[in-house]
Structure 1
Amino acid sequence: MITLTLGLTVRDLVHADLAACGWAGSARHLAVVGEQLERRRLGEVDYLAVCARADVPIAKGGVDYRAKDGVGTLWQLAVHPALQSCGVGTVLVEAAEQRIRDRGLRQAELGVEDGNDRARALYERLGYRAYDRRPDAWDVQAPDGTLRRHETMCTMMRKDLA
Protein backbone atom coordinates (compact mmCIF):
# COMPACT_ATOMS: atom_id res chain seq x y z
CA MET A 1 0.00 0.00 0.00
CA ILE A 2 1.22 3.49 -0.88
CA THR A 3 0.28 6.48 1.27
CA LEU A 4 0.22 9.86 -0.40
CA THR A 5 0.33 13.06 1.64
CA LEU A 6 -0.59 16.07 -0.45
CA GLY A 7 -0.20 19.03 1.96
CA LEU A 8 -3.03 21.01 0.38
CA THR A 9 -3.70 24.73 0.52
CA VAL A 10 -6.68 26.64 -0.82
CA ARG A 11 -6.35 30.12 -2.28
CA ASP A 12 -7.89 32.32 -4.93
CA LEU A 13 -7.29 31.14 -8.48
CA VAL A 14 -5.38 33.77 -10.48
CA HIS A 15 -4.84 34.30 -14.20
CA ALA A 16 -1.27 32.97 -13.94
CA ASP A 17 -2.69 29.59 -12.81
CA LEU A 18 -4.68 28.99 -15.99
CA ALA A 19 -1.69 27.71 -17.98
CA ALA A 20 -1.28 24.90 -15.41
CA CYS A 21 -4.98 23.94 -15.51
CA GLY A 22 -5.10 22.22 -18.90
CA TRP A 23 -6.31 19.07 -17.13
CA ALA A 24 -9.55 20.94 -16.30
CA GLY A 25 -10.73 21.53 -19.85
CA SER A 26 -10.09 23.02 -23.25
CA ALA A 27 -8.45 26.36 -24.00
CA ARG A 28 -11.95 27.76 -24.50
CA HIS A 29 -13.03 26.56 -21.05
CA LEU A 30 -9.97 28.13 -19.46
CA ALA A 31 -10.71 31.40 -21.28
CA VAL A 32 -14.20 31.33 -19.72
CA VAL A 33 -12.61 30.71 -16.32
CA GLY A 34 -10.40 33.75 -16.94
CA GLU A 35 -13.53 35.81 -17.61
CA GLN A 36 -14.97 34.61 -14.30
CA LEU A 37 -11.85 35.88 -12.54
CA GLU A 38 -12.85 39.37 -13.68
CA ARG A 39 -16.23 38.86 -11.99
CA ARG A 40 -14.35 38.05 -8.77
CA ARG A 41 -12.87 41.53 -8.85
CA LEU A 42 -16.46 42.85 -8.81
CA GLY A 43 -17.37 40.67 -5.80
CA GLU A 44 -19.85 38.57 -7.80
CA VAL A 45 -17.96 35.28 -7.48
CA ASP A 46 -15.17 33.52 -5.66
CA TYR A 47 -12.91 31.26 -7.70
CA LEU A 48 -10.72 28.86 -5.73
CA ALA A 49 -7.63 26.79 -6.40
CA VAL A 50 -6.61 23.80 -4.32
CA CYS A 51 -2.85 23.48 -4.57
CA ALA A 52 -0.31 20.89 -3.56
CA ARG A 53 3.09 21.77 -2.15
CA ALA A 54 4.41 23.25 -5.42
CA ASP A 55 1.53 25.81 -5.35
CA VAL A 56 0.20 24.44 -8.65
CA PRO A 57 -3.59 24.00 -8.83
CA ILE A 58 -4.80 20.41 -8.68
CA ALA A 59 -8.46 21.40 -8.29
CA LYS A 60 -10.49 24.49 -9.09
CA GLY A 61 -14.03 25.75 -8.76
CA GLY A 62 -16.20 28.76 -8.36
CA VAL A 63 -18.96 30.12 -6.17
CA ASP A 64 -21.42 32.41 -7.93
CA TYR A 65 -23.29 34.80 -5.64
CA ARG A 66 -25.44 36.24 -8.45
CA ALA A 67 -26.97 33.03 -9.83
CA LYS A 68 -29.66 32.93 -7.14
CA ASP A 69 -30.48 35.44 -4.41
CA GLY A 70 -29.26 34.48 -0.96
CA VAL A 71 -27.42 31.37 -2.17
CA GLY A 72 -23.85 30.51 -3.09
CA THR A 73 -23.95 28.42 -6.26
CA LEU A 74 -20.96 26.13 -6.73
CA TRP A 75 -19.95 25.61 -10.34
CA GLN A 76 -17.09 24.59 -12.63
CA LEU A 77 -15.72 22.25 -9.97
CA ALA A 78 -12.88 20.05 -11.22
CA VAL A 79 -10.14 17.90 -9.70
CA HIS A 80 -7.10 16.71 -11.63
CA PRO A 81 -8.08 13.25 -12.95
CA ALA A 82 -5.03 11.57 -11.40
CA LEU A 83 -6.05 12.86 -7.95
CA GLN A 84 -9.77 12.09 -7.93
CA SER A 85 -11.00 10.04 -4.96
CA CYS A 86 -8.09 11.31 -2.82
CA GLY A 87 -10.10 13.84 -0.80
CA VAL A 88 -9.21 16.86 -2.93
CA GLY A 89 -12.82 17.45 -3.99
CA THR A 90 -13.90 17.45 -0.36
CA VAL A 91 -11.30 20.11 0.44
CA LEU A 92 -12.51 22.21 -2.50
CA VAL A 93 -16.21 21.99 -1.62
CA GLU A 94 -15.62 22.66 2.08
CA ALA A 95 -13.50 25.73 1.25
CA ALA A 96 -16.22 26.99 -1.09
CA GLU A 97 -18.82 26.49 1.63
CA GLN A 98 -16.69 28.50 4.03
CA ARG A 99 -16.53 31.36 1.51
CA ILE A 100 -20.33 31.25 1.31
CA ARG A 101 -20.62 31.38 5.12
CA ASP A 102 -18.12 34.25 5.21
CA ARG A 103 -20.59 36.21 3.04
CA GLY A 104 -23.32 35.64 5.62
CA LEU A 105 -25.21 33.17 3.43
CA ARG A 106 -26.54 29.90 4.80
CA GLN A 107 -27.27 27.87 1.69
CA ALA A 108 -25.14 26.29 -1.05
CA GLU A 109 -26.41 24.81 -4.29
CA LEU A 110 -24.90 23.01 -7.25
CA GLY A 111 -25.90 21.01 -10.27
CA VAL A 112 -24.44 17.60 -11.07
CA GLU A 113 -24.73 16.13 -14.52
CA ASP A 114 -26.84 12.97 -14.70
CA GLY A 115 -24.49 10.03 -15.04
CA ASN A 116 -21.72 11.64 -12.98
CA ASP A 117 -22.29 9.18 -10.16
CA ARG A 118 -18.88 9.73 -8.56
CA ALA A 119 -19.46 13.47 -8.12
CA ARG A 120 -23.04 12.98 -6.95
CA ALA A 121 -21.88 10.47 -4.31
CA LEU A 122 -19.35 13.03 -3.05
CA TYR A 123 -21.96 15.77 -2.80
CA GLU A 124 -24.40 13.48 -1.01
CA ARG A 125 -21.68 12.42 1.42
CA LEU A 126 -21.04 16.13 2.11
CA GLY A 127 -24.72 16.70 2.92
CA TYR A 128 -26.20 17.91 -0.38
CA ARG A 129 -29.72 16.73 -1.21
CA ALA A 130 -31.43 16.64 -4.60
CA TYR A 131 -34.39 18.98 -5.04
CA ASP A 132 -34.92 19.33 -8.82
CA ARG A 133 -33.71 18.35 -12.28
CA ARG A 134 -32.98 20.88 -15.01
CA PRO A 135 -31.60 20.86 -18.53
CA ASP A 136 -28.22 22.51 -19.01
CA ALA A 137 -25.96 23.13 -21.99
CA TRP A 138 -22.51 24.50 -22.73
CA ASP A 139 -20.08 24.71 -25.61
CA VAL A 140 -17.34 22.09 -25.81
CA GLN A 141 -14.22 22.57 -27.89
CA ALA A 142 -13.21 19.54 -29.96
CA PRO A 143 -9.51 18.71 -30.50
CA ASP A 144 -9.70 20.29 -33.95
CA GLY A 145 -10.86 23.58 -32.39
CA THR A 146 -14.47 23.40 -33.49
CA LEU A 147 -17.24 24.00 -30.98
CA ARG A 148 -20.19 21.77 -30.36
CA ARG A 149 -23.08 22.21 -27.95
CA HIS A 150 -23.25 19.71 -25.08
CA GLU A 151 -26.81 19.33 -23.81
CA THR A 152 -27.56 17.38 -20.67
CA MET A 153 -29.77 17.05 -17.61
CA CYS A 154 -28.50 18.02 -14.18
CA THR A 155 -29.76 17.15 -10.74
CA MET A 156 -29.90 20.27 -8.62
CA MET A 157 -28.64 19.77 -5.07
CA ARG A 158 -28.81 21.98 -2.00
CA LYS A 159 -27.19 22.09 1.44
CA ASP A 160 -28.02 24.22 4.45
CA LEU A 161 -24.84 25.63 5.94
CA ALA A 162 -26.19 26.56 9.39
Structure 2
Amino acid sequence: MELSDVAITAGIPRGQRPRVARLYWQAFHRKLRPALSDEQRAVPYLESLLADDRVVCAHADGTVIGVVGFSLRGRAAVGFSFAELRARYSTFTAPVRALLLGVLERRTHPGSLLLDGISVAPEARGLGVGTALLAHVRRLALDEKMDAVRLSVVDTNPRARDLYQRLGYVAEESASIGPLRRLYGFRTATEMVLSLEGKRS
Protein backbone atom coordinates (compact mmCIF):
# COMPACT_ATOMS: atom_id res chain seq x y z
CA MET A 1 0.00 0.00 0.00
CA GLU A 2 1.13 3.55 -0.79
CA LEU A 3 -0.25 6.91 0.28
CA SER A 4 -1.58 7.40 -3.25
CA ASP A 5 -3.93 4.46 -2.59
CA VAL A 6 -5.44 6.21 0.44
CA ALA A 7 -8.47 8.51 0.37
CA ILE A 8 -9.03 11.12 3.09
CA THR A 9 -12.66 12.09 3.59
CA ALA A 10 -14.84 13.77 6.18
CA GLY A 11 -17.24 11.48 8.00
CA ILE A 12 -17.31 7.74 8.55
CA PRO A 13 -17.71 5.49 5.50
CA ARG A 14 -20.74 3.22 5.50
CA GLY A 15 -20.26 0.10 7.59
CA GLN A 16 -17.03 1.35 9.18
CA ARG A 17 -18.26 2.67 12.54
CA PRO A 18 -17.11 -0.45 14.44
CA ARG A 19 -13.71 -0.19 12.77
CA VAL A 20 -13.37 3.50 13.72
CA ALA A 21 -14.35 2.78 17.32
CA ARG A 22 -11.82 -0.05 17.46
CA LEU A 23 -9.05 2.22 16.12
CA TYR A 24 -9.88 4.74 18.84
CA TRP A 25 -9.70 2.03 21.45
CA GLN A 26 -6.41 0.66 20.12
CA ALA A 27 -4.82 4.10 20.33
CA PHE A 28 -6.22 5.21 23.69
CA HIS A 29 -7.07 2.03 25.60
CA ARG A 30 -4.47 2.72 28.29
CA LYS A 31 -6.15 6.03 29.15
CA LEU A 32 -9.71 4.79 28.68
CA ARG A 33 -9.46 1.37 30.34
CA PRO A 34 -9.91 2.69 33.92
CA ALA A 35 -13.31 4.08 32.94
CA LEU A 36 -14.46 1.75 30.16
CA SER A 37 -12.91 -1.56 31.24
CA ASP A 38 -12.32 -4.13 28.52
CA GLU A 39 -12.44 -3.85 24.73
CA GLN A 40 -15.56 -6.01 24.48
CA ARG A 41 -17.63 -3.38 26.29
CA ALA A 42 -15.67 -0.25 25.42
CA VAL A 43 -15.78 -0.50 21.62
CA PRO A 44 -19.61 -0.71 21.35
CA TYR A 45 -19.87 2.19 23.82
CA LEU A 46 -17.50 4.33 21.75
CA GLU A 47 -19.27 3.34 18.54
CA SER A 48 -22.62 4.48 19.94
CA LEU A 49 -21.24 7.96 20.63
CA LEU A 50 -19.28 8.68 17.45
CA ALA A 51 -20.35 11.92 15.76
CA ASP A 52 -20.03 11.46 12.00
CA ASP A 53 -19.50 15.18 11.36
CA ARG A 54 -16.60 15.40 13.82
CA VAL A 55 -14.48 12.63 12.29
CA VAL A 56 -12.09 12.49 9.33
CA CYS A 57 -11.12 9.06 8.01
CA ALA A 58 -8.34 7.66 5.86
CA HIS A 59 -9.46 4.60 3.93
CA ALA A 60 -8.18 2.21 1.30
CA ASP A 61 -10.11 -0.53 -0.50
CA GLY A 62 -13.19 0.24 1.58
CA THR A 63 -11.47 -0.14 4.95
CA VAL A 64 -10.66 2.68 7.37
CA ILE A 65 -6.95 2.68 8.18
CA GLY A 66 -6.75 5.97 10.05
CA VAL A 67 -9.02 8.35 11.91
CA VAL A 68 -8.83 11.74 13.54
CA GLY A 69 -11.60 13.18 15.66
CA PHE A 70 -12.09 16.78 16.66
CA SER A 71 -14.19 19.11 18.77
CA LEU A 72 -15.70 22.16 17.15
CA ARG A 73 -18.25 24.63 18.52
CA GLY A 74 -19.05 22.51 21.53
CA ARG A 75 -19.44 19.14 19.80
CA ALA A 76 -16.84 16.39 20.00
CA ALA A 77 -16.07 13.28 17.97
CA VAL A 78 -16.93 11.18 21.01
CA GLY A 79 -19.30 13.00 23.35
CA PHE A 80 -19.19 10.86 26.48
CA SER A 81 -22.68 10.30 27.85
CA PHE A 82 -23.65 9.45 31.43
CA ALA A 83 -26.90 7.91 30.21
CA GLU A 84 -24.97 5.59 27.89
CA LEU A 85 -22.60 4.69 30.73
CA ARG A 86 -25.58 3.61 32.83
CA ALA A 87 -27.14 1.71 29.93
CA ARG A 88 -24.00 -0.15 28.85
CA TYR A 89 -22.38 -0.68 32.24
CA SER A 90 -24.53 -0.22 35.34
CA THR A 91 -26.29 2.41 37.43
CA PHE A 92 -23.90 1.68 40.28
CA THR A 93 -20.61 2.02 38.41
CA ALA A 94 -21.61 4.83 36.03
CA PRO A 95 -20.80 7.70 38.47
CA VAL A 96 -17.28 6.36 39.08
CA ARG A 97 -16.74 5.79 35.37
CA ALA A 98 -17.89 9.34 34.65
CA LEU A 99 -15.40 10.71 37.18
CA LEU A 100 -12.58 8.70 35.61
CA LEU A 101 -13.48 10.07 32.18
CA GLY A 102 -13.70 13.58 33.61
CA VAL A 103 -10.00 13.49 34.50
CA LEU A 104 -9.27 13.25 30.76
CA GLU A 105 -11.54 16.14 29.80
CA ARG A 106 -9.83 19.08 28.13
CA ARG A 107 -10.91 22.68 28.07
CA THR A 108 -11.94 24.27 24.82
CA HIS A 109 -10.84 27.66 23.52
CA PRO A 110 -13.06 30.03 21.52
CA GLY A 111 -11.86 30.25 17.95
CA SER A 112 -9.95 26.97 18.11
CA LEU A 113 -10.53 23.51 16.71
CA LEU A 114 -9.54 20.90 19.29
CA LEU A 115 -8.21 17.52 18.18
CA ASP A 116 -9.82 14.69 20.17
CA GLY A 117 -7.38 12.05 19.00
CA ILE A 118 -5.69 10.48 16.01
CA SER A 119 -5.12 6.80 15.31
CA VAL A 120 -3.52 4.95 12.40
CA ALA A 121 -3.81 1.19 11.94
CA PRO A 122 -0.50 -0.68 12.44
CA GLU A 123 -0.42 -1.89 8.84
CA ALA A 124 -0.66 1.70 7.56
CA ARG A 125 1.97 3.37 9.71
CA GLY A 126 4.95 4.95 8.04
CA LEU A 127 3.02 5.91 4.91
CA GLY A 128 2.21 9.48 5.93
CA VAL A 129 -1.43 8.75 6.79
CA GLY A 130 -1.28 10.67 10.07
CA THR A 131 0.25 13.69 8.36
CA ALA A 132 -2.44 13.58 5.66
CA LEU A 133 -5.20 13.43 8.28
CA LEU A 134 -3.73 16.40 10.14
CA ALA A 135 -3.45 18.38 6.89
CA HIS A 136 -7.14 17.74 6.20
CA VAL A 137 -8.08 18.96 9.68
CA ARG A 138 -5.96 22.08 9.21
CA ARG A 139 -7.85 22.90 6.00
CA LEU A 140 -11.15 22.25 7.75
CA ALA A 141 -10.19 24.63 10.56
CA LEU A 142 -9.32 27.32 8.02
CA ASP A 143 -12.65 26.78 6.25
CA GLU A 144 -14.40 27.17 9.61
CA LYS A 145 -12.57 30.48 10.23
CA MET A 146 -10.73 29.11 13.26
CA ASP A 147 -7.65 30.89 14.60
CA ALA A 148 -5.83 27.75 15.74
CA VAL A 149 -5.79 23.98 15.99
CA ARG A 150 -5.09 22.61 19.46
CA LEU A 151 -4.18 19.14 20.65
CA SER A 152 -2.81 17.36 23.68
CA VAL A 153 0.08 14.88 23.65
CA VAL A 154 1.21 12.72 26.57
CA ASP A 155 4.79 12.25 27.68
CA THR A 156 4.73 8.56 26.74
CA ASN A 157 4.27 9.40 23.05
CA PRO A 158 7.40 11.32 22.00
CA ARG A 159 7.10 10.26 18.35
CA ALA A 160 3.72 11.96 18.08
CA ARG A 161 5.10 15.11 19.70
CA ASP A 162 7.98 15.16 17.21
CA LEU A 163 5.50 14.88 14.33
CA TYR A 164 3.38 17.73 15.64
CA GLN A 165 6.45 19.93 16.03
CA ARG A 166 7.53 19.22 12.46
CA LEU A 167 4.07 20.31 11.30
CA GLY A 168 4.35 23.63 13.12
CA TYR A 169 2.64 22.91 16.44
CA VAL A 170 4.14 24.75 19.40
CA ALA A 171 4.10 23.41 22.95
CA GLU A 172 2.34 25.64 25.45
CA GLU A 173 1.54 24.36 28.92
CA SER A 174 2.03 20.92 30.45
CA ALA A 175 -0.12 19.46 33.20
CA SER A 176 0.69 16.57 35.51
CA ILE A 177 -1.92 14.07 36.66
CA GLY A 178 0.11 13.33 39.79
CA PRO A 179 -0.51 10.02 41.54
CA LEU A 180 -3.04 9.00 38.88
CA ARG A 181 -0.17 8.33 36.46
CA ARG A 182 -0.13 4.64 37.36
CA LEU A 183 -3.82 4.38 36.55
CA TYR A 184 -3.75 6.19 33.20
CA GLY A 185 -0.28 5.27 32.00
CA PHE A 186 1.21 8.75 31.58
CA ARG A 187 2.61 11.49 33.80
CA THR A 188 1.99 14.71 31.91
CA ALA A 189 -0.02 16.01 28.98
CA THR A 190 1.23 18.95 26.95
CA GLU A 191 -1.06 21.23 24.99
CA MET A 192 0.28 22.11 21.55
CA VAL A 193 -1.06 24.80 19.25
CA LEU A 194 -0.90 25.39 15.51
CA SER A 195 -1.63 29.05 14.84
CA LEU A 196 -3.71 29.78 11.74
CA GLU A 197 -3.69 33.55 12.04
CA GLY A 198 -2.77 35.12 8.74
CA LYS A 199 -3.00 31.74 6.95
CA ARG A 200 -6.39 32.23 5.30
CA SER A 201 -6.32 32.97 1.61
- TM-score, length-normalised on structure 1? 0.75
- 1:57 shift after superposition: 0.7
1:97-112 aligned at under 5 Å gives the runs: 97-112=138-153
Question: Alignment partner for residue 47 of structure 1, among 55, 60, 63?
Answer: 55
1:10-159 aligned at under 5 Å gives the runs: 10-11=8-9, 12-14=11-13, 16-21=15-20, 22-25=22-25, 26-27=39-40, 28-29=42-43, 31-32=45-46, 34-37=48-51, 40=53, 46-52=54-60, 54-65=61-72, 66=74, 67-135=108-176, 150=184, 152=186, 153-159=188-194
- Structure with the larger helix share: 2
Q: Which amino acid aligns with 1:112?
A: V
For the residue of structure 2 that corresponds to 1:13, the secondary structure is coil
1:28-74 deviation digits (Å, cap 9, x = unpaired) = 15632541316x4xxxxx2111112x121100111201332110011
Report the RMSD for the aligned CA atoms in angstroms: 2.5
CA distance in structure 1 between the partners assigned to 2:184 and 2:145 by the alignment: 35
Q: Does 1:160 align with 2:195?
A: yes
Q: Is the 8 A contact 1:135 1:151 kept in 2?
A: no
CA distance in structure 1 between the partners assigned to 2:137 and 2:43 by the alignment: 20
CA distance in structure 2 between the partners assigned to 1:135 and 1:33 by the alignment: 29
Q: 1:119 to 1:112 in 2, by over 3 A?
A: same
Q: Which runs of 5+ in 1 are unaligned?
A: 41-45, 137-147
- 1:106 shift after superposition: 2.3
1:133-160 deviation digits (Å, cap 9, x = unpaired) = 1246xxxxxxxxxxx9526321110011
- 1:23 shift after superposition: 4.2
- 1:121 shift after superposition: 1.0
CA distance in structure 2 between the partners assigned to 1:158 and 1:33 by the alignment: 28
Ranked by relative contact order (alpha carbons within 8 Å, sequence separation 6 or more), the top structure is 2
Q: Please identify runs of 4+ aligned residues in structure 1 that moved more than 4 A.
A: none
